[in-house]
């Protein structure tokens, strides 16, 4: 009885392999966009055309070039930078106390490290703006 079942199992799997589409793009999840674009081209009456129609959907309501949008993003980045600096400063002051530095020098560790990060980032921006290599910085 088990011999018949295993024989049927091998036959079914071989039949499934023979009947399953190997190159069916709609069946493969990584190619669904390609299959969708072919459907769009077919609906447009040009099934043999080599270009692909892109449906972008409704227009965006946010204009990325609007000065108000740029100002809002700039304020958000500045706020996030200040919060990150404050967290870093407090955490590095705790590291300074953990290192056993005198209490009057706790501010020096975050000031040194955060200032160095800002200076190095600024020097990279300067080199990049000048068109120079930035690997030294």
Condensed to tens digits (0 to 9), the pLDDT of residues 83-95 reads 998 999 999 999 9
Q: Is residue 16 part of a domain?
A: no
Q: Residue 121 belongs to what domain range?
A: 90-129
Q: Is residue 49 part of a domain?
A: no
Q: Is residue 73 part of a domain?
A: no
- The average pLDDT across 25-47 equals 51
Quick one: pLDDT band at residue 104, thresholds 50, 70, 90? very high
pLDDT at 121: 92
Q: Is residue 19 part of a domain?
A: no
> Do 48 and 42 contact (CB within 8 A), yes or no?
no
Q: Is residue 40 part of a domain?
A: no
d(CA 107, CA 65): 41
pLDDT at 98: 94
> Do 82 and 74 contact (CB within 8 A), yes or no?
no
Number of independent structural domains in the chain: 1
- The average pLDDT across 3-13 equals 50
Quick one: pLDDT band at residue 33, thresholds 50, 70, 90? low
Condensed to tens digits (0 to 9), the pLDDT of residues 44-67 reads 555 555 566 666 666 668 888 889
d(CA 106, CA 52): 62
Q: Is residue 134 part of a domain?
A: no
Dihedral sign for Cα 99, 122, 136, 84, please: positive
Q: What is the pTM of this model?
A: 0.46
């Amino acid at each position: 009885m088990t011999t018949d079942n295993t024989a049927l199992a091998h036959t079914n799997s071989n039949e499934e392999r023979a009947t399953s589409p190997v190159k069916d793009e709609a069946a493969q999840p990584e190619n669904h966009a390609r299959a969708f674009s072919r459907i769009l081209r077919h609906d447009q009456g040009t099934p043999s055309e080599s270009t692909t129609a892109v449906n972008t959907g409704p227009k965006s309501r946010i204009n990325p070039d609007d000065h108000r949008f740029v100002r809002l993003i700039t304020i958000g980045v500045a706020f996030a930078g200040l919060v990150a600096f404050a967290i870093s400063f407090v955490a590095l002051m705790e590291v300074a106390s953990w290192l056993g530095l005198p209490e009057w020098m706790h501010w020096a560790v975050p000031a040194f490290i955060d200032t160095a990060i800002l200076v190095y980032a600024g020097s990279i921006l300067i080199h990049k703006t000048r068109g120079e290599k930035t690997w030294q910085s």
